[in-house]
Amino acid sequence: MLRIHAYDLDRLVAVASDMPAVAAAPVTSDLSEPVTPAPAVVWYDLVSPTSEEERMVGERLGITVPTMDEMEDIELSARLYQEDGAEFMTMTVLTRPDAGTPRKVPVTFIVKGQVLVTVRYAEPRPFDAFMARARKPNGAGLHCSYGELIMTGLIEAIIDRMADTLERLGTEIDQISQEVFSTKAAKANKKTRDLQDLIREVGQKGEFITVVRESLVSVSRVVAYYAALDGVDRKLSKELRQRLKLLQRDATSLGDHSAFLSSKINFLLDATLGLINLEQNQIIKIFSVASVVFLPPTLVASIYGMNFAYQPELQWHYGYHAAIVLMIFSMAMPYLYFKRRGWL
């Protein structure tokens, strides 16, 4: 699908796909009525494009639109390069972070003169949010008069989306931390099962943060690459330089925050595994103490269970009662000793 946007009256407007990329000069018809010039196209948005749509945009701007396989190439030279007088920049963007299992998809930005081309095979929410704001009167505070500003506006929306995602992840991690270190009493087997579920949840959050960090790294690379073009291959406006500097700062701060959350996830994982080991050791200790406590009475019963012909106590009238008392006494002594030493 091809979406074409033009800049008209301080906002983006959707135009027909057959509209020329450059506004025509005002002309006069045979009836001497002025003809309103068409607004200049500033953004071609290719969403899961067909080969015909890629060919049409490529011919109109004199570029070669990258394919899906080329966009997924992880080599830096295949993601950030110049060709046909245009800058090609591919970054990794999150999709559906609210679903719990986000996907990372490549999005390519192509800047050719005053026109921006975006190529994507998914519909990340920041694109919809940006377009909704840019189509309002006066652009809702956005500056979209040419492609470079649209690109920075989209990157800002992507960074804002990741900031919201990290904030939500931080809240969920705090909830997990409270569950891990909760002091409420529970049966050992139930608590162990709960901790095992928490390990699974902690692992999912860790994977989520890893995807966010990968996306932030790709965003930082794109912003740094385009900022480095200033004064070398093209002259950036003062407003654009300032916005790129802010984007770099925001991406760096979010990267630091994601690193903090990642370290917290690792701490929670280690703490959860430690608590599980403590619970298992507690159960093993109970069995060990029980075996030691029941060992002396077992010895007494074994002695008086021997089948020798002559055992004086077997003929004693109170022999059975004495053996029972001896068993109880031999059980109590180890228990009291362990209790006094603080092993129970």
Condensed to tens digits (0 to 9), the pLDDT of residues 246-276 reads 988 998 899 899 889 888 888 888 888 887 7
In this structure, are 181 and 321 located in the same domain? no
Which DSSP string corresponds to 10-55?
SSEEEE-TTS-SSPPPPEE-TT--EEPPPPPEEEEEEES--HHHHH
In this structure, are 118 and 160 located in the same domain? yes
Give the CATH number of the domain where residue 336 resides.
1.20.58.340
Please compute the mean of the pLDDT values over residues 58-72 and round it to a whole number.
Answer: 87
**Residue scoring higher pLDDT (47 or 195):** 47
In this structure, are 270 and 285 located in the same domain? no
pLDDT tens for each residue of 281-336: 877 877 787 788 888 888 888 887 777 777 777 777 777 788 888 888 888 888 88
What pLDDT does 233 receive? 65
pLDDT at 72 over 50: yes
Q: How many CA atoms lie within 13 A of 155 on its CB side?
A: 33
What pLDDT does 114 receive? 86
In this structure, are 183 and 247 located in the same domain? yes
Among 35-39, 152-156, 328-332, top mean pLDDT goes to 152-156
Closest Cα to residue 275, out of 172, 174, 197? 197
**Residue scoring higher pLDDT (126 or 180):** 126
Output the CA–CA distances (angstroms, integers) from residue 209 to 74, 174, 313, in the order listed: 19, 14, 74
Residue 312 sits in which domain range? 280-341
In this structure, are 273 and 293 located in the same domain? no
In this structure, are 326 and 180 located in the same domain? no
Is residue 129 exposed (0-12), middle (13-18) or buried (19+ Cβ within 10 Å)? middle
Query: Per-residue confidence at 25, pLDDT binned at 50, 70, 90?
Result: very low
Output the CA–CA distances (angstroms, integers) from residue 152 to 111, 124, 334, in the order listed: 11, 16, 75
DSSP state of 94: E
Domain end marker among 252, 279, 306: 279
**Residue scoring higher pLDDT (17 or 46):** 46
In this structure, are 299 and 335 located in the same domain? yes
Give the CATH number of the domain where residue 198 resides.
3.30.460.20
In this structure, are 226 and 112 located in the same domain? yes
In this structure, are 267 and 151 located in the same domain? yes
Q: Which residues of 234-255 are buried (b: 16+ CB within 10 A; e: fewer)?
A: eebeeebeebbeebeebbeebb
pLDDT tens for each residue of 167-226: 888 888 888 888 777 756 555 556 666 777 788 888 888 888 888 888 888 898 888 888
What pLDDT does 183 receive? 56
Domain end marker among 245, 279, 313: 279
In this structure, are 89 and 221 located in the same domain? yes
Domain end marker among 279, 303, 327: 279
| Residue 292: other Cβ atoms inside 10 A | 14
What pLDDT does 109 receive? 92
In this structure, are 258 and 300 located in the same domain? no
The total number of structural domains that make up the chain:
2
In this structure, are 178 and 305 located in the same domain? no
For 106, the 3-state DSSP assignment is strand
What pLDDT does 29 receive? 40
Mean pLDDT across the chain, nearest whole number? 80
**Residue scoring higher pLDDT (23 or 39):** 39
Q: Which helix (H) or strand (E) holds 1?
A: none
What percent of the chain stands above pLDDT 70? 85
pTM: 0.74
